[in-house]
Amino acid sequence: MTSISAPDLQVEGRILPDGIGAGKQRELVTHQQIHGPLDLAVSSADVIAAVAAAGLTGRGGAGFPMARKLTAVAAGSEPVVVANGAEGEPASSKDRVLLSYAPHLVLDGLQLACRATGATRAYVYVHEGPLVALLESLVAARRTAGVDAVTATVVAAPARFVSGQESAVVSALNGGRALPLAVPPSVYVKGVGRAPTLVQNVETLAHLALIGRHGASWFRSVGTEREPGSMLCTLGGAVAAPGVVEVPIGTRLGDVLARAGGSPGPLSAVLVGGYHGTWLPAGQAMDLSLSVEGLGPVGASPGAGVVVALSAQACGLSETARAVTYLAEQSARQCGPCLNGLPAMARTLTQLAGRERSRGLPERVLELAALVEGRGACHHPDGTVRLVRSALSVFAAEVATHQAGVCTATDDRPVLPVHPWRAGGAS
C-alpha cells in the first residue's frame, strides 16, 4: 500500500500528453511546437461563446460552468483574474503536476481569461515552494518573448487545506490571511482590491487554452454530452502505480483505476472526490462513471478527481478517523460549529476505530455531523460531514464489529495521506 507521490506519473491525454518528459514543456518554444500558436486577438464575446459551446466547467472541485463566471466578471469594471493552483488536498497532486509539466498551457489560459473578462491584472496563486520560482521564471520568459498581453504576478499560498478556497484566495491577494471570508458578496462582484474577480482552477485554464486553439467541437469530442472534455485525476491507495492521469469525463471508475495499473488484491471501498468526497463500496463503484451525472445518484461527485482504492485488508474506519482528524486540524478556526464540531467528530471516530467499548459512538458521530452541517462560512464542515456519513454507511459492518471489540483489518499501514504535500514536484 502506498500513498500518493507526485513523481509517479502516468500521463496521457490532451493537457498532459503522453511521452513528453518532465520539464520539456517548460520551454516556451517546446510548448509552442507541441500545441501551436495561440491567437489572443479575439474578442471577449468570442472567448465566452467558445467556452459556453464547449461546456467547460471548473476543475477545482465545484464544477461551476466557466462561461457563467466569465460573463459575470466581464460585466464589472476593471476585473482581476486569478489562476488558482493552491490545491490543499493532500490526496490530490494534479494541479502541482500540471504546473510542473505543462505550465504554459495554464499561463495561456490565463491570458484568454483576461481577454474574456477585460482584466488587466492577473495572478498565479500557488503553494509556497519551488513552483513559485518556476512560474516566476516562466512569466518572465513569456514577457521577454512578448506573448502575453497581461503580465501575471505569482503569489505564494500557505500549504494548508483551505488556502485554495475561492474567498481565501481573494483574502490572501488582498494582503490578508489565506482563510475563507464570509459571503456574500461573491468574489465575482467584489474580490481582489474590491474589483470583480475570476478565480479559476489552473486545470480549467489549461483546458481553456486548448479550446482557444482547437475550438468547442474538438473539446466536446471526448467526455459526455452533459459533461464534455477530459479531467485530471489523482489515483492512489491500493493501485499498482499511483499518480496523475487524464481521462475523459464519464470514464467507468474501474477503467480509471486500471490506468493506475489496477489493484493488487480485493478492494473494500473507493474514495471518490477526496476528503470532502464519498466512500463507495468497491463493488458498486467500479461500474459507475466518473461524472456528476454518473455519481450523483449514489450521493457522490468527482470533485477535483481524487480516487483512492481501499484494500479489503485495510480498515476504512481508521482511515476515515485519520482523515477527519486532519480535516479538523485544517479548520480555519473561524466558525464555532466547525472549530468545535470537527475535533469532536474526529475524537469520536478515533474511539470507534480504536474499538473503544463506549456506547453510542456511531450515533454521536451522526449527531455531531448534523450539528456542523450548513453552519460555516465555507464548505469545509459540509464536505467533512459528507465523508463521515459515507464512511458510517459503507463501513457499517466494520462499525458493528468494532463495537464488539474486533477489527478485521490485517494491514494497518496508512493509506490516505494526511500531511500537506511538500512543495516539491517542480525540481
Footprint of another protein (CB under 8 A): 180-182, 334-338, 340-341, 371, 375-377
Q: State phi, psi for 42 to the nearest 5 degrees.
A: -125, 155
Q: How far is the CB of 376 from another protein (least distance, A)?
A: 5
Beta carbon nearer to another protein, 136 or 382: 382
Residues 6+ apart with CB under 8 A from 11: 17, 18, 97, 101, 243, 244, 245, 246
Dist. CA 26–CA 204, nearest whole Å: 18
Beta carbon nearer to another protein, 152 or 179: 179
* Residue with grid cell 518556476, as numbered in its chain: 134
CB-hemisphere CA count at 13 Å for 112? 31
Dist. CA 334–CA 338, nearest whole Å: 8
The amino acid that residue 234 corresponds to is T
Beta carbon nearer to another protein, 239 or 361: 361
Dist. CA 150–CA 393, nearest whole Å: 50
Dist. CA 276–CA 385, nearest whole Å: 8
Beta carbon nearer to another protein, 106 or 335: 335
Q: How far is the CB of 162 from another protein (least distance, A)?
A: 12
Beta carbon nearer to another protein, 46 or 329: 329
Q: How far is the CB of 373 from another protein (least distance, A)?
A: 11
- Give percent helix, percent strand, percent coil of the chain, each to the nearest 5: 45, 15, 40
Beta carbon nearer to another protein, 224 or 330: 330
Q: How far is the CB of 332 from another protein (least distance, A)?
A: 9
Please, what is the end-to-end C-alpha distance for the chain in angstroms? 25
Beta carbon nearer to another protein, 131 or 327: 327
Beta carbon nearer to another protein, 80 or 342: 342
What are the cell numbers at 153? Answer: 504576478
Q: How far is the CB of 166 from another protein (least distance, A)?
A: 15
Q: How far is the CB of 355 from another protein (least distance, A)?
A: 26
- Quick check: helix, strand or coil at residue 157? strand
The amino acid that residue 288 corresponds to is L
Q: How far is the CB of 340 from another protein (least distance, A)?
A: 4
Beta carbon nearer to another protein, 22 or 371: 371
CA distances from 162 to 127, 157, 223 (A): 12, 10, 29
Q: How far is the CB of 82 from another protein (least distance, A)?
A: 21
Dist. CA 17–CA 36, nearest whole Å: 14
Beta carbon nearer to another protein, 244 or 345: 345
DSSP for 234-274?
EEEESSSS-EEEEEETT-BHHHHHHTTT--SS-EEEEEESG
* Residue with grid cell 501575471, as numbered in its chain: 152
Nearest to 383 by CA among 297, 278, 308: 278
Q: How far is the CB of 338 from another protein (least distance, A)?
A: 8
Beta carbon nearer to another protein, 202 or 338: 338
Dist. CA 208–CA 230, nearest whole Å: 12
Q: How far is the CB of 344 from another protein (least distance, A)?
A: 9
Is residue 92 within 8 A of residue 187, CB to CB? The reply is: no
Q: How far is the CB of 163 from another protein (least distance, A)?
A: 16
